[in-house]
Chain A
């Protein structure tokens, strides 16, 4: 499966959100999208998922224009984990995850034992099996996020789009859920595209990183090409030190706090 975007442009009123961005995502690839707040990451993801029709450019899913397809065939191939949304009613965790099977069911069909199996596996993969009968409203944000990820897994997608999937998770679950995504891309050959805030996490997991700034793509390549002092400093406007992760070998960044000068006694960058 292949998702390609060609020269996407999008505006909100007169504000340019995305400015001529092209990208591609292949099966089995793990791509991270980085960029400061307001750089158009979420808009780009919504355009790719077909939720927002861009002002210019096309998105092709296996050669078919996503914005001309009906939502159902798109949902059979692409699953999306959005940022935490508002849930008005106390659906149970099991019901929520079962909603991931909707694209594969017809209007009058009922959940088959196979659907139940897939849902159980998805819940096990994100560690929410023990919550199955609980109401989603009673869960913490981190738990809710794992439920939504389980729902996306239950969709059995070929492409997985993630909008900051780790934002509410503690470091343990953060690594665990990123491991789940990584293994999906490796073992099940799913293309994963994740908007991430954490540069270090992105560098550890992504095969390829795309850096956005003010709606433009400023870098696209393997982590070693994108996580560099020059790019980080120009995009985020802070002083950065880039080192190699001692265990994994990918570049890791340490930001230098602005108030350091003159404090002297505690100098984290001085190694």
Chain B
């Protein structure tokens, strides 16, 4: 703890901080790059929709000694698609494979029969429709639309419209990246994937709201001071909640990482891969976008506000004045006294809240204005 605890303490005091808002252009760039890659991936490779969405073929065998796992391998070899294999009460197997038409299904049937060493006549094949029909999909879109509208209204009331907009951008960012990676990796999209995406949607917003809540609290009385611009405070707010963000992300990602890397990688739980991948990418993107995208975006939008522009002017003017004064003070003293030397080093990171107390005590700011 001590190291991270110290980090927390120093972040709290502002002794160390990362300039998230100041370096936002870099991160916007990174995000735009990833998003474009994702969109290109989606456009070029498309999503590999599973049997639940596009239907496919179902093969029913008569009583057989071939195991489910073996049949899965055979079916994958025969068709090139992931197959769902279930053992039936009759002792036979039901093998479902996505993306099949009649011709393809006949070929697959013949291959399956040779692989499983059974008579092709004993395998019954049929085309099946999607179990995740248009209605489920349409209603899901409808629900998403209504939710987006409501959540923007809610955030606009609870916070303000700029934060609502930024949260929405972050959300779309996360979803695009996750779907894009899906297209690039080429995993089959199952209902589990969709549920995973919806989980991401909830989590991404949740995480953004936690960060915004701290931002709102810290910027409550912003116009009553002239020491910090909105961006400064936004940056301090992110740094202040950084430990929380790291901890939450680690705790949320560890179990999913367990599923993805240990379960999928070493133990061969192949079908878990699809859902855990979407969760892993989405959770990581959600945590990233709250800090690197959403908050700087709010700062950008806020700085465009006349009130905040005026504030920034005052702050900059004050800083320039202070710097000028310091220079003259230094020029006057010209290194004559030892303690004066230390002063610049302490005052140096002026935009950091750590210097707040010292600065406040040293120069009664009220008079200068």
**Chains A and B form a bound pair:** no
B: which residues have CB within 8 A of A? none
A: which residues have CB within 8 A of B? none
